């Protein structure tokens, strides 16, 4: 038995094979292809980021896994269960926080959670209503009318509802949109804890920095195609780019000869920005070249490549290719 009470633990929490989705058109609308041959695996226990620009197909993928959208072709398994042939088991293994903000106007947060637990057949003795309410910061609002909840509170209630049956796979579609910074931190610290205890987490987010901090695996999709899927470290290493920002003791007219073998930019005044591939050039070599140019360094900073850089490069490459 795992921490989540599931009897068998597969190597991958989710697998999709050549998953495709085309939304049928109607009189006015053309059919729209949202997913093209998506084959990906979420390693069990991972904190997995699914990134992509608006309209890339992220919600479609998540909704197929949740059983809310019917795929056109391909296969998907959740916790080893085929989403068609073993639909009930697949659905029990997953908790989904949808992107759309829905709420139950007639129930308090506590009632919503109890109702949801009932739907999943969680016995009263095994319910964690208070723990979950506290984790999402809704203890004080537990008995409040749902209509008095703010947007951020409603979103946190959706997160809470996805957790009542202790699913081994938790999927969050833009869960922090509209949630303020403090609560976002609180929410992530709880979700990190769940991940630490074994829950596989998949999330989409617009905040690339959030994804970079949280996720150990990242997939990027664009126009319905998977364009990258790798560990976060491997993905960041792929760009092989670093920047050194040097401030020197006097104004510089042009990039000195000694620095011409790097890609250096004169930022005007006393600042130079030097770009280099860290796999082939050590920062020591860059520093030596600055000194060789007869410049005295008064300040120095380096900038690592960020997920945002990778994201922009990969998605714009893919845009070029689909033109
Ligand atoms: P994302 O979540 O990455 O923003 P979506 O999965 O919501 O992307 O959408 C992918 C594409 O599918 C978009 O072009 C969108 O307009 C289209 N789409 C999404 N849902 C529907 C739907 N119910 N009917 C028709 N087209 C849809
Ligand atoms: Mg979406």
**pLDDT tens digit sequence for 43-79:** 999 999 999 999 999 999 999 999 999 999 999 999 9
For the beta sheet containing 217-222, the strands, ordered from the edge strand earlier in sequence to the opposite edge, are: 94-97, 169-173, 200-204, 47-51, 217-222, 225-231
Indicate if ligand 1 lies below 6 Å from the C-beta of 32: yes
Percent helix, strand and coil across the chain, each to the nearest 5: 35, 30, 35
Q: What is the spatial distance between Cα 199 and Cα 47, in angstroms, rounded to a whole number?
A: 9
Tell me the pLDDT band of 1, cut-offs 50, 70 and 90: very low
- pLDDT number for residue 133: 94
| Strands 242-248, 169-173: pairing kind | unpaired
The model carries a pTM of 0.84
Ligand 1 center–CA 180 separation, angstroms = 26
Q: Which of 5-19, 97-111, 175-189, 269-283 is modeled with the greatest confidence?
A: 269-283
What span, in angstroms and rounded, lies between the C-alpha atoms of 300 and 305?
Answer: 17
Residue ranges, CATH 3.40.50.300, the chain: 12-236
Cβ of 34 less than 6 Å from ligand 1: yes
Q: Across residues 249-259, what is the average pLDDT?
A: 88
DSSP state of 45: T
Contacts of 186 (CB under 8 A, 6+ apart): 135, 136, 137
Task: Tell me what pLDDT residue 206 has.
Answer: 79
Element (H, E) at 94: strand 94-97
CA 3 to chain centre: 23
Q: Measured from the CB, is residue 23 less than 6 Å from ligand 1?
A: yes
In this structure, which residues have their CB less than 5 angstroms from ion ligand 2? 58-59, 99
In the chain, CATH 3.30.70 sits at: 240-304
Question: Residue 7's pLDDT is what?
Answer: 54
Angle of helix 151-163 relative to helix 181-196, nearest 10 degrees?
A: 10
Write out the E strands in 164-269.
Answer: 169-173, 200-204, 217-222, 225-231, 242-248, 263-266
Residue among 34, 36, 219 whose CB has most ligand 1 atoms within 8 A, to mutate: 34
Mean residue pLDDT of the chain comes to 90
CATH of 12-236, one of 3.50.50.60, 1.10.8.60, 3.40.50.300, 2.90.10.10: 3.40.50.300
State in Å, rounded, how far the first CA of the chain is from the last one. 50
* Confidence category of residue 2, pLDDT binned at 50, 70, 90: very low
CA quadruple 10, 14, 18, 22: dihedral, nearest 10: 150
What ligand is nearest to the CA atom of residue 36?
Answer: 1
In what helix (H) or strand (E) does residue 232 lie, and over which residues does it extend?
helix 232-238
Q: Is 58 in the pocket of ligand 1 (CB under 6 A)?
A: yes
Rounded Cα–Cα distance for residues 147 and 145 (Å): 5
Higher pLDDT residue, 71 or 268?
71
Q: Mind listing the pLDDT tens digit for each residue in 213-253?
A: 999 999 999 999 999 999 999 988 887 888 999 999 989 88
Pick the CATH number of 240-304 from 3.40.630, 3.30.70, 3.10.620, 2.30.29: 3.30.70
- Indicate whether residue 53 lines ligand 1 (CB < 6 A): no
């Amino acid at each position: 038995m795992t921490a989540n009470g599931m009897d068998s633990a597969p190597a991958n929490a989710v697998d999709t094979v050549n998953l495709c989705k085309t939304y049928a058109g109607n009189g006015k609308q053309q059919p729209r292809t949202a997913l093209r041959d998506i084959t990906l695996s979420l390693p069990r226990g991972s904190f997995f980021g699914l990134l992509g620009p608006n309209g890339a197909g992220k919600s479609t993928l998540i909704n197929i896994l949740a059983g809310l959208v019917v795929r056109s072709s391909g296969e998907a398994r959740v916790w080893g269960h085929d989403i068609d042939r073993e639909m009930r088991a697949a659905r029990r293994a997953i908790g989904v926080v949808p992107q759309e903000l829905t709420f139950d106007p007639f129930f308090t947060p506590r009632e919503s959670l109890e109702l949801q637990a009932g739907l999943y057949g969680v016995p009263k003795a095994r319910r964690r209503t208070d723990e979950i309410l506290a984790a999402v910061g809704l203890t004080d609002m537990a008995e409040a009318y749902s209509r008095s909840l703010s947007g951020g509170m409603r979103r946190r209630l959706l997160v809470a509802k996805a957790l009542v049956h202790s699913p081994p796979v938790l999927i969050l579609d833009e869960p922090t949109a509209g949630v303020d910074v403090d609560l976002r931190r609180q929410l992530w610290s709880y979700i990190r804890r769940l991940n630490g205890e074994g829950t596989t987490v998949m999330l989409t987010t617009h905040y690339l920095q959030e994804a970079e901090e949280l996720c150990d695996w990242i997939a990027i999709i664009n126009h319905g195609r998977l364009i990258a899927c790798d560990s976060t470290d491997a993905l960041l290493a792929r760009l092989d780019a670093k920047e050194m920002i040097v401030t020197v003791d006097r104004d510089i007219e042009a990039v000195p000869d000694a620095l011409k073998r790097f890609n250096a930019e004169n930022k005007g005044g006393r600042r130079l920005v030097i770009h280099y591939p860290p796999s082939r050039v050590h920062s020591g070599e860059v520093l030596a070249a600055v000194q060789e140019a007869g410049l005295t360094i008064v300040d120095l900073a380096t900038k690592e490549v960020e997920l945002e850089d990778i994201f922009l490069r990969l998605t714009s490459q893919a845009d070029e290719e689909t033109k």
